[in-house]
Amino acid sequence: MRYLHPWEAADLESLMARLTTDVVFQSPPSSSWYRGAGAFRRFAGEHLLPDGSCGHWRLLPIRASGQLGFGAYRLDKSRRLYLAHSIHVLYFDEDLITELVCITDADLFPLFGLLPEVVVQGSI
């Protein structure tokens, strides 16, 4: 919940509190990656969790390669659906996340027993 809730609430500060200062973020198949909390904060604040994006993400827990992970769905507001977006795999040192791998490939969702889309419940 300490990872899921910040994404769904677009609470970048709470997400940052879960990361080590030298966290690594990568998002295959893109070749770009970020090292360090400052670099991740800039990227996430601009692209993932900008102001006003509360409710734009829905995460469902999974296990991936023996690690804690999530299927991340992105909101399609016009269709009132969350669409499969990426698989998040988390690596930890104690309670803090040292590495966050977000594999942007919706075709992977069935491998984890996840649906390609989830209906929005309530208001957004």
78 found inside a domain = yes
- Is residue 41 domain-resident? yes
- For β-strands 57-64 and 19-26, DSSP reports them as unpaired
- Rounded CA gap, 53 and 15, in Å? 14
SS3 75: strand
Residue with tokens 């977006």: 85
DSSP 8-state assignment for residue 120 = -
Q: Look at the chain and report how many structural domains it folds into.
A: 1
Q: Is residue 124 part of a domain?
A: no
- pTM above threshold 0.75: yes
Q: Domain range for residue 61?
A: 4-119
Would you say residue 51 lies in a domain?
yes
Distance CA 40, CA 46 (A): 10
- Mean pLDDT by groups of 10 residues along the chain of 124 residues: 94 97 95 94 96 95 94 96 98 96 97 96 76
Residue 44 confidence (pLDDT) = 96
Antiparallel, parallel or unpaired: β 96-103 and 19-26 = parallel
CATH no. for residue 13?
A: 3.10.450.50
The pLDDT value given to residue 32: 84
Residue 72: inside a domain: yes
